[in-house]
Amino acid sequence: MVHAQGGVKFQNWAKTYGCSPEMYFQPSTVEELKEILDLARQRSKKVKVVGGGHSPSDIACTDDFMIQMGRMNKILKINKEKKQVTVEAGILLSDLNVELNKHGLALPILGAVSEVAAAGVIGTGTHNTGIRHGIFATQVASLTLLTASGEILECSESMNPELLQAARVHLGCLGIILTITFQCVTEFYLQETTFPSTLKEVLDNLDSHLKKSEYFRFLWFPHSENVSVIYQDHTNKPPSSSASWFWDYAIGYYLLELLLWISTFLPCLLPWINRFFFWLLFTSKVENVNLSYKIFNYECRFKQHVQDWAIPIEKTKEALLELKGLLESNPKVVAHYPVEVRFTRGDDILLSPCFQRDSCYMNIIMYRPYGKDVPRLDYWLAYEGIMKKSGGRPHWAKAHTSTRRDFEKMYPEFPKFCSIREKLDPRGMFLNAYLEKVFY
């Protein structure tokens, strides 16, 4: 019988949400997973599967049964001819990146963080940037799913293709992902070039920036015109880095945290802090070269609250200027830097925020210096209003106030996903408070 723990307290990485599951399981085989589902059925309990716990929302929380997939983390097969890798769902991308590199392979796109489990990364619609690239889940060639009834379904372009279209962004509500096959590419190096610009220049020349760099994004510093442009592109140059502990940590972390904490007592300092740090850290051109995953990944040093919505790419300029105008006309509404702006190709995954449209993701952030919460409600609601008006869809892993009524308008195939979910899990075994707001 699989071993269960009681009294475990779960918290997400940002420490913004937590829960106390009645039973906490760490299975290492499919048989053990089936036993847990049998027990849940007998006791009419809900089941929540978690990976790295990085989602800055309550999507991973439950008071019933929690299954942590960390022991189901093996690489099952590497097909060098097809450049595909099959893994167990609990593997962390940080481990997968290293193993792929040993075989001369890499994932063509990664999010900012790799301390996350494969099934969770695809399930919440994780993305990065690059208009030629889709969200992370578009790299899934096939997967296997354990349903609420204990059946194992294989999903690929040739077997259960409709289910694959739903399960690539599964929200943890269709069953338990067991294995995933990712489409990889030959390993590659990236050169990252960061240089200063202005919001007007970037928005006026957006098409040119998108054509110039394969993985283009930019950071806007609220309460100013300042922008840091980031290009990442394939290169044959040897690895090099301009990182310095003093500037990255002493200044960019410790001093920033202290000043953000002081600003919780004097919010009028925030516009000055944003401009000061741009001047201090972002006014010169910087180049770094490294393996792709080392450039894609960066350290999320601060605990934080974030929102990240995808809007149609043609609405980028209008939405960002509206957000800027809103901050200018409401001096009491303050915003931390940066607003991170990224671009992603459209896809056909039912609940992908990029479903059937090329998209711009606009990520806003409020840090928690020394764990202290900063007033953010006015900024949050104003931003959400602009995103909804622009036809936006929220990132599934991040906090938002949207409900089923909103999702029915946002997603043309929402009813189709709902009918697949109800068929696979008629009793709602895999639902929790977060998902009930999505589906009811």
pLDDT tens digits, one per residue of 398-436: 889 999 999 999 999 999 999 999 999 999 999 999 999
pTM (two decimals): 0.94
CA 106 to chain centre: 19
Residue 9 tokens, joined: 């307290």
Task: Report the amino acid identity of residue 55.
Answer: S
Whether 321 has a pLDDT exceeding 80, the answer reads yes
Q: Is the peptide bond before 196 cis (omega within 30 degrees of 0)?
A: no
What would the pLDDT profile of 128-164 be if each residue is shown by its tens digit?
999 999 999 999 999 999 999 999 999 999 999 999 9
| Mean pLDDT of all residues in 305-322 | 97
Whether 53 has a pLDDT exceeding 90, the answer reads no
In a domain, 333, yes or no: yes
Q: How far is it, in rounded angstroms, from Cα 67 to Cα 172?
A: 11
- Greater pLDDT, 14 or 37: 37
Of 133, 164, 186, the last residue of a domain is 186
Same domain assignment for residues 177 and 193: no
Same domain assignment for residues 251 and 383: yes
Same domain assignment for residues 281 and 214: yes
Side-chain-facing half-sphere of 1: CA atoms under 13 Å? 5
Same domain assignment for residues 113 and 208: no
Same domain assignment for residues 335 and 236: yes
What confidence category does residue 66 fall into, taking pLDDT thresholds of 50, 70 and 90? very high
Same domain assignment for residues 100 and 248: no
In a domain, 411, yes or no: no
- Greater pLDDT, 218 or 16: 218
Whether 1 has a pLDDT exceeding 70, the answer reads no
| Mean pLDDT of all residues in 60-86 | 96
What confidence category does residue 27 fall into, taking pLDDT thresholds of 50, 70 and 90? very high
Q: What percent of the chain shows pLDDT beyond 70?
A: 99
What would the pLDDT profile of 241-250 be if each residue is shown by its tens digit?
877 778 777 8
Same domain assignment for residues 194 and 119: no
Mean pLDDT of the chain: 94
CB 171 within 8 A of CB 414: no
Same domain assignment for residues 289 and 329: yes
Q: Look at residue 101 in the predicted model and tell me its pLDDT.
A: 96
The structural domain count of the chain equals: 3
Q: Look at residue 86 in the predicted model and tell me its pLDDT.
A: 98
Same domain assignment for residues 202 and 114: no
In a domain, 420, yes or no: no
Q: Look at residue 303 in the predicted model and tell me its pLDDT.
A: 77
| Mean pLDDT of all residues in 349-370 | 97
Q: What percent of the chain shows pLDDT beyond 90?
A: 85
What would the pLDDT profile of 177-234 be if each residue is shown by its tens digit?
999 999 999 999 999 999 999 999 999 999 999 999 999 999 999 999 999 999 999 9
In a domain, 413, yes or no: no
Same domain assignment for residues 243 and 378: yes
| Mean pLDDT of all residues in 6-23 | 84
Of 159, 186, 213, the last residue of a domain is 186
Task: Report the amino acid identity of residue 297.
Answer: N
Q: Look at residue 70 in the predicted model and tell me its pLDDT.
A: 94
Q: Which residues contact 67 (CB under 8 A, 6 or more apart)?
A: 25, 26, 27, 33, 36, 47, 48, 49, 50, 176
Same domain assignment for residues 16 and 117: no
H/E segment holding residue 162: helix 161-167
Quote the domain boundaries for residue 155: 75-186
Whether 392 has a pLDDT exceeding 90, the answer reads yes
Largest CA distance in the chain: 62
Q: Which residues contact 403 (CB under 8 A, 6 or more apart)?
A: 437, 438
Q: Look at residue 13 in the predicted model and tell me its pLDDT.
A: 75
Q: Look at residue 7 in the predicted model and tell me its pLDDT.
A: 79
Same domain assignment for residues 257 and 368: yes
Q: Which residues contact 57 (CB under 8 A, 6 or more apart)?
A: 12, 16, 17, 397, 398, 399, 400, 434
Q: How far is it, in rounded angstroms, from Cα 378 to Cα 296?
A: 32
Of 163, 186, 209, the last residue of a domain is 186
CB 96 within 8 A of CB 139: no
Whether 330 has a pLDDT exceeding 90, the answer reads yes
Q: Which residues contact 126 (CB under 8 A, 6 or more apart)?
A: 111, 116, 135, 136, 137, 397
